[in-house]
Structures are given as C-alpha cells and as structure tokens.
Amino acid sequence: MLLSVDGSDRSTQQSLSFEIINAIANEEGVDTTAIEPPEYEPLYEVLNPEALDALFAPREDGTPRTNGRVEFPYCGYQVTVTSDGEVHVRE
C-alpha cells in the first residue's frame, strides 16, 4: 500500500506518524482508532513519532527536505517513510 502526503503542504495535512497509523489501519481493514494496545503495539515503542515528524519537516528557512527515508517494522509490516511524505506499508 502507498499512502502519499503532499510534503509541500504538510502543515495542513496529518502528521507522518498519523499517516503511518492510517496506513496500518487500512491494511488491517479497521478504523484508525483501533490501532492501539493491546491488539496493536504503540508506534512510540518502535520509534519516536515527534522525531519522525521533525525529521521530515521543512528546514528553518522553509525549504523542503528533498532526500531521506526511514524504514522500520511495525505491527507485522515493513514501513517506509520518505522525505516527500510517502508512506509505504508492505508485509
């Protein structure tokens, strides 16, 4: 599954950490509010959501981050987040 967030306008979009939860919920066929313990591990036990959001936030001068990606396992999926706001989830 690929979920894309327009990185140039992320201030009006949900945070990347929320988009990860949303992507997992879509894969699982459940509402985003269901992605919580005890059925699902908390995202904060896998990575720091605020750090992830800050990592891909625009630079201080407002220019977007153009390179970078983070990959990690979460809830039985391999999650990849790229600097342009794409969230890839695969088994």
Per-residue pLDDT of 9-56, as tens digits, reads 444 467 899 999 999 999 999 999 999 999 999 999 999 999 998 888
1-5, 58-62, 78-82: the lowest-pLDDT one: 1-5
pTM over 0.85: no
- Average pLDDT of 49-77? 90
Q: Look up the domain containing 23 and give its range.
A: 2-90
Confidence of residue 61 (pLDDT cuts 50, 70, 90): very high
Overall number of domains in the chain: 1
Contacts of 19 by beta carbon, 8 Å cutoff, 6+ apart: 3, 5, 13, 85, 87
pLDDT at 65: 81
Q: List the alpha helices (DSSP H) in the chain.
A: 16-28, 49-55
